[in-house]
A and B are shown apart, each in its own frame.
Chain A
């Protein structure tokens, strides 16, 4: 009985308001990562529809943008 209550109290101590904040921030950035995937897909569809000289640079930018969203997500996960 004492053992389980100690676990609960320990959990309650660590469960601060900033942990909840971290969860919400990470969740928001996760949505941003999904948005990054949509942007990559969108650029590929757009370049299929209208093909021009900037096709390759735009594809690279969209992929770099997606990688950037992942980096931000990992940063939030580890720093916060």
Chain B
């Protein structure tokens, strides 16, 4: 009887080590690549990137943003807006104004267009999802003055759901990753991120790694 117990324990230990090695191996392959492009929406191991609540020694595994195609509506609107004053030749809507007023109106139009483009770019660029070796962080800037940072420990992740539907999402390969966390921890939603299935897999692997660390008593 004691022999059977020892055998099972050894088997379990062996399985645990195999899983651990496999997980570390895949994560290592991600971490061996460095993303130097600061505009990337799917950046494993981003170079020169830090965030406000980052702990000392905490390693950023992934930096995610919404897929670049989600910017298309405002880019098209800006292109149309750029050529909109040309319509004034066809439809002289402001011709009743003195020339100096017309000039200021057109200058103001282009200034507002620049502001529109800059604001939309900032909104896309700074709304990021960060996966570190310890937690996941969702940084949201809803408006000019409202900021929200949501974070959850990886070991608190309970369920991960992938949501991908629609022609554009299928063609360009992006979708939502919904992360449900334990207890009073807030749920997180990674919206329109590229390669959602890969993100999901990485999160699962990190969770597994955290479990192994907890078993081995290596929790930070």
A26 (CB) vs chain B CBs: closest residue: B104
Q: How many residues of A contact B (CB 8 A)?
A: 31
> Is A38 touching B115 in the complex (CB atoms < 8 A)?
no
**Chain A residues positioned under 8 Å from B118 (CB to CB):** 39, 61-62, 65
> Is A49 touching B98 in the complex (CB atoms < 8 A)?
no
Asked whether B74 is an interface residue with its Cβ less than 8 Å from the other chain, the reply is no
**Chain B residues positioned under 8 Å from A42 (CB to CB):** 122, 141, 144-145
**Chain A residues positioned under 8 Å from B139 (CB to CB):** 49-50
- Report if A43-B107 is in contact (Cβ < 8 Å); known contacts: A51-B49, A52-B48, A53-B38: no
> Is B126 touching A49 in the complex (CB atoms < 8 A)?
yes
Q: Which residues of B contact A (CB under 8 A)?
A: 38-39, 46-52, 98, 100-101, 103-104, 107-108, 111-112, 114-115, 118-119, 122, 125-126, 128, 139, 141, 144-145, 147, 149
Q: Which residues of A contact B (CB under 8 A)?
A: 18, 21, 25, 29, 32, 35-36, 38-39, 42-43, 45-46, 48-54, 58, 61-62, 65, 68-69, 72, 75-76, 79-80
**Selected A-B contacts with CB under 8 Å, 18 pairs:** A32-B108, A39-B118, A42-B145, A46-B122, A49-B51, A49-B139, A49-B147, A50-B49, A50-B126, A51-B51, A53-B49, A58-B122, A65-B115, A65-B118, A68-B114, A72-B108, A72-B111, A75-B104
Given contacts A50-B50, A72-B111, 17 further A-B contacts (CB under 8 A): A32-B111, A32-B112, A35-B115, A36-B115, A38-B144, A38-B145, A42-B122, A42-B144, A50-B49, A50-B52, A51-B49, A51-B51, A52-B48, A53-B49, A58-B122, A65-B115, A72-B107
